[in-house]
Amino acid sequence: MIKAIAIDDEPIALDIIRRYADKISFINLEKQFLNGLEAKEYLKDNEVQLLFLDVRMPDINGIDLFKELPEKPMVIFSTAYSEYALSGFELEALDYLLKPYTFERFEKACQRAKELLELKGILDNNPTLFVKDGYQMIKIDLKDILVLQAVGNYIRFILKEREVLARMTIKEFLSEWADNNFLQVHRSYVINIEQIRKLDRHSIWINDIEIPIGGSYSEEVRERFNL
């Protein structure tokens, strides 16, 4: 999962980035900033791997902001002004998105970030966790998880080939792994969104398992999947 933030003085532009990023499984858009100087302060104490960065902003030019960062993450510049493209590439930007851009163009830029991190061995494409099942520690590949079901202070891990009951709460699991395609859709259920077969406003099907969507989670689910 790539940790990213977006900086743009236009709320509509930030909303587009958020909606596009939500559709890409390996992008975790942690924060959005309308103010470049606030983003610069955030980056002093928080490490991110990728910036979506507007160029022409009232408080600070995006290119100047990036130059001033002591630790430079990967950057994808976006602007309505093509004349900044050369400056962006001189800073070894991954890409330069000219507004308005499509989801396909955004996805292509993000894929470049993913490929670069994989090349450096930074991006883990197969994360795992160990859970206690009785007196044993069981290794679970996250990609094999279909559904998590809360059972008291335990979680039933429903996997592709088996089930494991481990002493862990949903809250504990999500605190560590929420960025890895897992979404809570009911107080008792968390799903792996990459395993969804179909969904509607009331239920989600993972293979042949029908998972109810809880009332307090329905709005987030509708927004996430444009229901």
Phi, psi of 112 (to 5 degrees): -65, -40
Q: Is the pLDDT assigned to residue 156 strictly greater than 90?
A: yes
Residue 138: per-residue pLDDT:
86
Domains and their CATH numbers in the chain: 2-120 (3.40.50.2300), 128-225 (2.40.50.1020)
Q: What is the pLDDT of residues 46-66, one digit of tens each?
A: 989 999 999 988 988 898 999
- Average pLDDT over the chain, rounded to an integer: 89
Residue 101: per-residue pLDDT:
94
Q: What is the pLDDT of residues 18-40, one digit of tens each?
A: 999 988 888 989 999 999 999 99
What average pLDDT score do residues 193-221 get? 93
Nearest Cα neighbor of 47 from 92, 89, 2, 16 is: 2
Residue 120: per-residue pLDDT:
72
Q: Is the pLDDT assigned to residue 88 strictly greater than 60?
A: no
Instruction: Give the Cα separation of 123 and 35 in Å (integer).
Output: 29
